[in-house]
Structure 1
Amino acid sequence: MGSEAWELERRYSVPGTLDTRGLEPPASEDLHAWSIYRQNLNSDFTDSALGSAEKSPLPYGNFQLRDSTVQSILRHPRYGPKSPLASNSYTYLKFGLPRVLPPSRARDGSSGYDSSEEGRKASHSGLPQSGLVMRSARSDPDFRQIHVTPRDQAHSQLIVRENSRLRSVSEANLLQSGRPNRRHSIAPIDPGYAQGMLSQVQGHLGPETYAATTLRRVPSLQHPHLQLRCVESFERPPLLRDITLEAGAADVLAVMSTTEKEGTAVIETISGRRRIKRGDILLNGRPVTASILRSRVAYLPAECGLNVGLTVQQVLSFYVCLRGGATTSKMEIEAILQELGLEATKHCLVNTLTTSEARRLVLACRLLQDAHILTLDRPTHGLDIFDAFFLVEYLRQWATRGQRLVVLTLHPPTYEILTMVSRVALTSGGRIMYSGLRREMLPYFAFAEFPCPPFKNPSDYYLDLVTLDDLSAEAMLESSQRIDHLAELARSRLPGLSDPGPPSVLPSPIYDANIFVQIYALLMKTLVYSQPSTMAKFLQKIVVAASLSLWLGAIFWDVAGDSNLHLRDRVGLYYSSLGILFWPLGLLGIREVINVRAIVESDIKDGLYGRLIYIILEFLCSIPSWCLVYATYLVPAFVMSGLHMALDDNLTSLWNYLAYGLMYIILQHLICIFFAHICKWSGLAVLLSGIVIGEMTLGGGAMLHLQNLPNWYQDLSPMQWTLSVLLPQIYSTETLNKLTNCKAKQVQRQDIIVQAPCESPDGVSALQEISFNTIEKSTDIQLLSGIGILALLIITGFLIIRYTTQRRPRTAPNKP
């Protein structure tokens, strides 16, 4: 036998220390050969999934399965004739593809995520990983676990002492080291019921094996230690009824509910965002209120807005300023970016991120709070299996590394993600169906005569089991009786909560910025962080305003030289500039408010800054820029009409027009902003703004004669106030004589040639015709008073009316 044949024999032979009792030798060798072939197959699959440019060498070379080996595997007792796997080998492949660990290579600018690195600490510094523990995600049953292995023989299995980086790691790998029961196996590992290991031949425990076990209390958990005791919410009917659960340090508690509202209610109750009607919440042995929980528990909602004009690094800097405090350094921000695979995107705008990257970014913001308890509502919603796998695995490692508590809702998780959590709370109709260790869930339901079938995801199966079936009256009756039975069973058979022990010190509160820090952070975001995006939007508005003004000026070109005052060209210029062509700019203002409202509401709900502080600073920062935009809109058209030299050479008429015109247009702008803040739908805001501004424009005296309008309407018309000041200035006799270009006509008589003088334009009669012959002296006071009243209405409406963030569609793609 040559050296190559000896090497193949050494690598592909069954270890001598492997316990193969109950299996015939050929069957054991076939299972081992299948494990080798499967790892080779998945190594190639991993390269394709990760988009590797070049294929890595197969862990076990060019290894092929014989037909007899495949048939032997399909005839295995676990996959008997009744199983569809016995007659369809392709179906078996769908159940037998575990994740593998490809050879380590440079990331080549990738996000740092490797779906196979489950449980492995990544080394970003290039240090060797010989001392790191290799653990894997379970994707199908482990053939080595079909025997009962005594505890004294558990460590007699073959142990791989050297780190062979080119060898794939799979839970079905017969050369894998460690005890028969692994971390991700949901088979009991000393669950507290039995005196020894329980045998499992049919894939899941049956009631006959669980009947002899006894429940016992879980020992007291480490701090932070959270307990909910008989909690009930305020709704009618209540979303939560007698919710009892607990979790401690290094735990990842998964809340699985039949409806999203139930899971969200549990998360909001734990995070202090929802008050309870009755029951107790204990944190480290102390009863706590919702306000105490809110100040100590970090909360990540399912829908969390991000400032679209900021980059990833700017979002984190803004969040650190308001939540991280002075103790958070830039190195910590860089470390979190690197751990979450966001380092390559830190200079990208958040609106260019994928769904997965955006979800990791909002998670990074919560991690910077340095809270001991982190709650997340549906963090894997909208993510594919790889991104969800990475996110939950990172949370598990974060909780373990820092002895922290993670509570999240999953609807429902995949089998691999289910095996990453340590505790499960299953609810239906607001009641607890199961609450406890994840590894004890299957034997618990097996004892309740609801064992999970083989090759079925337990989370899918048990969520279906406790869901009300309303397809028919019989199905609804049967499912409701089953749910009531499981609820009563959980109340009577689940072990009680552990003893919290003496009251201990509560976790440190999350940093909360004071009013001055909030003002500083908002100013930095508006004036610094949001650049150049804000400047680009400002220039776009300038271009739109200038285009409208040039168009208007071209229509009313040199209207000052027109002596026919009864054509009302001057009135038409004022009417068009102040009323009609303002509307496109008003729509831009409404859109600007609508686009940022969801983000602002999310930030305020998260407690980053106060509503009053935001709306005041928004006024101070936005009104000056809008004044520049509206000045760009007013001046060119007025100059092109030739009326800027109407009163004198000092451009007095231009300044008067600009001053009163700005006051009137800002008044209309605030009307648009007011409806944009108080209306839930943008279409409704546009409609109401159009009605109010349209009434102001029609009642200004240009389209409808003032004598046909009620007196009270004339007194409340801002357009009439403005025109009554501006029109008499350009219709005075001195102004008309100065502006009118009239050449004397020669009239030939018998012997004498004389020149007939030009007729003097009568501006007073032209104004009397439209009832604008009197000057309103208090127009500036009236306009400023209207602006002040609208500003107060906007602030009051913003403080009172609050809208929730709009939900994204359920089929949200993992794309920008």
Structure 2
Amino acid sequence: MIPNDFVLEAHNIYHTAEVVSGDCFSGNKNSALVLKGVNLVVHSGEVLAVLGSKGSGKKALLDVISRRTNESSRGQVLLNGAPMTKSLFGRCCGYVTHENDFIPGLTAFQTLQYTPTVSNGFIKQSKVRQVLADLTLSQVANKKVENLNISEKRRLAIGIQLIRDPVMLLLDEPTQGLDPLSAYLLISILSNSAKKVGCGIILSLEKPRSDVFPFLDRALFLCLGGAVYSGGTRAMLEYFHGIGFPCPQLENPLMYYLCLSTVDRRSRDRFLESSQQIEALVQRFSRESPMNDGGPVMSNGFGKLPLLYSKPGVFNVWGLLFLKMLAVNFSCGSTGLKSLFLRLFALPLAIGSMWIFYSNIADDSKGFYSRNGMILNVLGISYGCGILSTISIFPQWRKRFYHDSADGLYSGVSLLLAFNAVSIPFSVISAVLATCALYPIILNPLIPIHISVAYLFVSIWSCYFLAEQLCVLFCVFVKSRTNVAVAVSYIICIFVALSSGTVRSFKGLHPYLQEYNKIIHTKYASGLLHSTVFLSKNMNCEESATVSCPVPADYLTNRIGNADIEETNFIIIAIVIPVALSIFNMIMYTLPIANKVFRKHVDK
């Protein structure tokens, strides 16, 4: 239960943001003042509705309060007298958008169960059941989130925030896309939750219905960034009646005064007339009642400060992410089966299909049906399966991370640590199965079995893991999973063409490309495969040859550039490169450039 002594205040809020003017070919970005001296107060247990037409500044106000804006803003946002910071908002408050980015494969209960909170164990499960009951979601607790309707998804998104016990909850257009009955149910649930747990609620509405009026304690009417009215809903009728705008009987007061504070754009004359009227209303309200909307203003910091609220520990968050990812992989349904197939069986099946082409290959075969062609296909399949698996699984976690990171639930490092902790064991098992499928094809009796298996395993697994990490890296900058796959595939093709020794020999490369190859993973993975397939084997020459046949070392020197292959070093380097890339990814997901891209993805 949240103590009923919290007050959120916003004093004299000005906010400037970039707006696009012009058409899609000649659009220009200009700075515009989207909020002009807005004030509001909301207490624990109250519901404040921010009303206004599209472009009135509703979302900008919520972003300023939640400290999600990068553009310039002035004014004060206080929580019990403490200046609102991004860290403070993440600990004590919640933000719900109208987008529902849940992880497919999880049930409604699991979605709340794996949300990072301070409490765990039996207390956490009891809290989850209580939140589901309060949101009338108990009947769909064991239903997959992808099978929920839009109303149930919207309530579940609210539950993700309520499970954290916020003192203030912000909601951006929570009724958007809902039918009238679902919208009424949602607003009534929010009102009851606010009274029950003592949580202050601020929600934006564009088209409020009359049946939600009784559930609103306060209202803020915005038009072109200015406040036409801010205060209690009961005092609202008296205020507008006193200035000459009484609400007609049987009329929805919310919609009536929303229309009154909306610019009429049907003609130039109507636009000028309505703009002047709204400007007069804004100035009159600012002059007569700047913050006199009832209730004490606790600007002196009196009362329990929200700074005492704590965040869940790092290991707690990582453990929940890890368990959530495991739950998706082993969930019953299409999502779980797809994830399990891509992680475990796609690579072995693809490698096993090579039996069709290379089961009876001869030493003197050339072109695609040769040992050289086989090495090329092993590299390509290993890289390709890594790309396919990652772009199919990781983007949904990245998308969820965009919203969770904005709430300060966890960092990119925690996400990648959990993702790799799940991915690496699966990829190791998959690579082992693929090695077992490939080894009989390239059986080399002159090399000990354990050495051949080790070389094959390291080559296949490191290629798979490198492709996975490259996809994760590109996901920082690229939103479309298709574009990520294309970009990574293009890079891999360059690596294979220049460094594998299967398309073009090392000796045929320009000197600077030969030096460049020393840092390319494909060179070392291919070197292990070449040493397994060709080392100590006789290289058959054409009968018309006038020179002696090349020895294996000469062959390897021409193909991959090493006369004396040190397989141990190749194994170490082949493993170190993708591992180093995974560490680099963790750094990238904490840099400001990544946070900027994340915010762009969230806004879109």
TM-score, normalization: structure 2? 0.82
The code of the aligned residue for 1:226 comes to L
Residue 629 (structure 1) shift: 2.2
Distance 1:660 1:767 in 2: 20
Distance 1:421 1:649 in 2: 77
Higher Rg: 1
The equivalent of 1:569 in structure 2 is: 370
Deviation track 1:752-796 (CA, whole Å, cap 9, x = no partner) reads xxxxxxxx9866499389645834434334423422442233222
Distance 1:771 1:512, change over 3 A: closer
The code of the aligned residue for 1:730 comes to V
- Aligned pairs for 1:494-509 (under 5 A) are 494=289, 496-497=291-292, 498=294, 499-500=296-297, 503-506=301-304, 508=306, 509=308
Residue 545 (structure 1) shift: 2.2
Aligned-residue identity in percent: 21
Distance 1:691 1:472, change over 3 A: farther
The code of the aligned residue for 1:722 comes to A
Any unmatched runs of 5+ in structure 1? 1-221, 741-759, 810-816
Distance 1:571 1:231, change over 3 A: same
Question: Are residues 1:783 and 2:574 paired?
Answer: yes
Alignment equivalent of 2:96, drawn from 267, 275, 300: 300
Distance 1:651 1:792 in 2: 30
The equivalent of 1:289 in structure 2 is: 84
The code of the aligned residue for 1:523 comes to F
Secondary structure of the 1:609 match is coil
Deviation track 1:717-761 (CA, whole Å, cap 9, x = no partner) reads 4434433443255335x5349xx9xxxxxxxxxxxxxxxxxxx98
The equivalent of 1:687 in structure 2 is: 486
Question: Are residues 1:605 and 2:401 paired?
Answer: no
Deviation track 1:496-549 (CA, whole Å, cap 9, x = no partner) reads 425536752135554411223223322332345763368632234433223312
Distance 2:556 2:93 in 1: 71
Residue 347 (structure 1) shift: 1.2
Aligned length: 560
Distance 2:33 2:464 in 1: 50
The code of the aligned residue for 2:586 comes to I
Secondary structure of the 1:366 match is helix
Distance 1:507 1:306 in 2: 32
Distance 1:768 1:542 in 2: 33
Deviation track 1:14-44 (CA, whole Å, cap 9, x = no partner) reads xxxxxxxxxxxxxxxxxxxxxxxxxxxxxxx
Deviation track 1:672-715 (CA, whole Å, cap 9, x = no partner) reads 33223332222331222122101011113322343332123234
Distance 1:342 1:287, change over 3 A: closer
CA contact (8 A) 1:468 1:479 kept: yes
Distance 1:652 1:375, change over 3 A: closer
Residue 230 (structure 1) shift: 1.2
Residue 233 (structure 1) shift: 2.9
Distance 1:254 1:629 in 2: 53
Secondary structure of the 1:644 match is coil
CA contact (8 A) 2:469 2:582 kept: yes
Distance 2:89 2:523 in 1: 57
CA contact (8 A) 2:447 2:532 kept: no
- Structure with greater strand share of residues: 2
Alignment equivalent of 1:280, drawn from 64, 67, 76: 76
Distance 2:393 2:405 in 1: 18
Alignment equivalent of 1:726, drawn from 501, 505, 529: 529
Distance 1:450 1:486, change over 3 A: same
- Aligned pairs for 1:596-635 (under 5 A) are 596-635=397-436
Distance 1:388 1:257, change over 3 A: same
Alignment equivalent of 1:543, drawn from 321, 324, 345: 345
The equivalent of 1:588 in structure 2 is: 389
Question: Are residues 1:672 and 2:485 paired?
Answer: no
Deviation track 1:306-330 (CA, whole Å, cap 9, x = no partner) reads 22232122222222x5244679454
Residue 482 (structure 1) shift: 2.3
- CA-atom RMSD, angstroms? 3.3
The equivalent of 1:704 in structure 2 is: 504
Distance 1:274 1:725, change over 3 A: closer
The code of the aligned residue for 1:301 comes to T
Any unmatched runs of 5+ in structure 2? 18-30, 541-547
Residue 577 (structure 1) shift: 1.1
The equivalent of 1:211 in structure 2 is: none
Alignment equivalent of 2:359, drawn from 543, 547, 557: 557
Residue 481 (structure 1) shift: 1.8
TM-score, normalization: structure 1? 0.62
- Structure with greater helix share of residues: 2
The code of the aligned residue for 1:573 comes to M
Residue 670 (structure 1) shift: 2.3
Deviation track 1:422-453 (CA, whole Å, cap 9, x = no partner) reads 21100112211111222333443344444555
Secondary structure of the 1:784 match is helix
Secondary structure of the 1:477 match is helix
Distance 1:343 1:485, change over 3 A: same
The equivalent of 2:588 in structure 1 is: 797
The equivalent of 1:230 in structure 2 is: 12
- Aligned pairs for 1:254-333 (under 5 A) are 254-259=49-54, 262-273=57-68, 277-284=73-80, 286-290=81-85, 291-319=87-115, 321-324=116-119, 328=123, 330-333=125-128
The code of the aligned residue for 1:674 comes to L
Distance 1:530 1:474 in 2: 62
The code of the aligned residue for 1:306 comes to F
Distance 2:39 2:283 in 1: 13
The equivalent of 1:74 in structure 2 is: none
Distance 1:323 1:382 in 2: 33
- Aligned pairs for 1:213-252 (under 5 A) are 223-233=5-15, 235=17, 236-252=31-47
CA contact (8 A) 1:229 1:242 kept: yes
- Aligned pairs for 1:329-728 (under 5 A) are 330-452=125-247, 456-470=251-265, 472-494=267-289, 496-497=291-292, 498=294, 499-500=296-297, 503-506=301-304, 508=306, 509-527=308-326, 531-532=330-331, 536=337, 537-559=339-361, 562-564=362-364, 569-579=370-380, 582-639=383-440, 641=441, 643-648=442-447, 650=449, 652-699=451-498, 700-715=500-515, 716=517, 717-728=520-531
CA contact (8 A) 1:325 1:513 kept: no
Residue 600 (structure 1) shift: 1.9
The code of the aligned residue for 1:289 comes to M
